[in-house]
Amino acid sequence: MYFKITRNNPQSSASDIIIGVVIAAPYERTEDCTAHRNSFWDRDLTPRIGTITLRVPCHRNGNFSTSMFARYQRREQALVQAMIDMVSNLFQRLGPVVDTFRNRPLNNRYPFLVADAIYLKVCEDGRVRSKGLLIAAGINADGCREVIGFQIADSESKASWGDFFAELKERGLESIDLITSDDHKGLVKANRKHFQGAAWQRCQTHFSRNVLDKAPKKRQPELQQSPNRIYNAKDEKEARRLLTETVEAFATDAPKAVAVLEEGFDDIIAVMGLPEKYRQKLRTSNGLECLNEEIRRRDRVIRIYPNEASVIRLFGALLIEQDERWVTGRKHLDMQAYYDASTKLNKSDQVAV
């Protein structure tokens, strides 16, 4: 009897899985044989993993029956339980691997840090609660990105981000020069407490959306270009000149949008303190947003997690894979210009003193 599992996804590169149990060779006659097969008939079974076509042997006496499924049954029982047991065993082996990764010492230096959070639904005390998965990615001294930490939290409060940053510092994180994130109030406050002296770069992509949300629809297409011109200014002086032009052009028709732009201006140009070649890759948290989309893609299938440990194991495995791709792939930044600029700045400070 043979089982052939056909995946629902026709684009899958994986081959069909064949599971075979040889009962007797073709035309073989033995004393133990109680019946003889007369070809096969196909039977479709529909578990959660996709449609399975079972090749059921036709017996001459018609008495053959399989325990894989009951007569007329179209949904799996034993198969699903077997798969659950296999997944459970896999998770048990995966747990120590994820724990080792998320608790590893941070012996490298990480001048740049990108932080973000994504919310998931987790069962706790018999109720479904919204939990934040806090993620931090660092760019190390060699210019490669790394997933340096992740943690489950009840919210994005100062205390939650503070606990997360404190844990990263205990593992060795220090000397951060720039942190890029969305306008998480708790994150910004925790950053000021735990990484004093580090600049905060507000994600320009999110900021542009905040500005447009406050503008009348008829003015949005024209206003959309103004923040981009500011972002691409060659220096802070030019950026402030473009800000003044934007305020004068839209103060009457879009006062709320102008107020948001003026209030957040200093936060969106923090990256201009770096050499120009670094600004585009450090002015947004888009790199983590792409990673979050991979998390959301899996979350749309699972929806609700039985506990926090299952979240850590599942997405810890995903983050380990992403970290390996980053570390073994192309460098995110060439750090030489950054070090040269830092050396010049330090010499200028010494002369001034």
Mean pLDDT lowest for which of 51-65, 139-153, 282-296?
51-65
Q: How confident is the model at residue 181 (pLDDT cuts 50, 70, 90)?
A: very high
Are 225 and 217 in contact by the 8 Å Cβ rule? The answer is no
Give the pLDDT mean for 98-114: 95
**pLDDT of 21 above 60:** no
Distance of CA 231 to the CA centre of its chain: 26
Residues 25-70: tens digit of each pLDDT: 666 767 666 666 677 778 777 665 667 787 777 776 656 666 555 5
Q: How confident is the model at residue 281 (pLDDT cuts 50, 70, 90)?
A: very high
180-184 contact pairs (CB < 8 A, 24+): 180/112, 180/113, 180/114, 180/115, 180/271, 180/282, 180/283, 180/284, 180/285, 181/114, 181/115, 181/116, 181/285, 182/116, 182/206, 182/285, 183/207, 183/210, 183/264, 183/267, 184/115, 184/117, 184/156
Are 272 and 201 in contact by the 8 Å Cβ rule? The answer is no
Residue 225 to residues 114, 125, 243, 247, 278, Cα–Cα distance (Å):
25, 49, 12, 13, 22
Report pTM: 0.74
Q: How open is the CA angle 343-328-173, to the nearest 5 degrees?
A: 50
Extents of the domains making up the chain: 2-76
Are 68 and 19 in contact by the 8 Å Cβ rule? The answer is no
CA-based nearest residue to 271, from 290, 284, 258: 284
Q: 209 pairs with which residues across the strands?
A: none
pLDDT of residue 199: 94
Give the pLDDT mean for 107-125: 94
Phi (first) and psi of residue 130, to 5 degrees: -85, 125
pLDDT of residue 348: 47
Residues 86-99: tens digit of each pLDDT: 666 776 788 899 99
Instruction: Report the percent of the chain where pLDDT is more than 70.
Output: 76
Question: Around Cβ 299, how many Cβ atoms within 10 Å?
Answer: 20
Average pLDDT, rounded, for the chain: 84
Give the pLDDT mean for 254-275: 95
Give the pLDDT mean for 211-239: 94
Are 192 and 165 in contact by the 8 Å Cβ rule? The answer is no
Name residue 281's amino acid.
K
**pLDDT of 260 above 70:** yes
Instruction: Report the percent of the chain where pLDDT is more than 90.
Output: 62
Give the pLDDT mean for 342-353: 52
Question: How far is 58 from 173, CA to CA, in rounded Å?
Answer: 66
Are 151 and 168 in contact by the 8 Å Cβ rule? The answer is no
> Which residue reads 């806090």 in tokens?
134
**pLDDT of 219 above 80:** yes
**pLDDT of 319 above 60:** yes
Are 138 and 333 in contact by the 8 Å Cβ rule? The answer is no
Question: How far is 342 from 347, CA to CA, in rounded Å?
Answer: 9
pLDDT of residue 252: 94
Give the pLDDT mean for 126-130: 93
Q: How is residue 195 written in tokens?
A: 């990484």
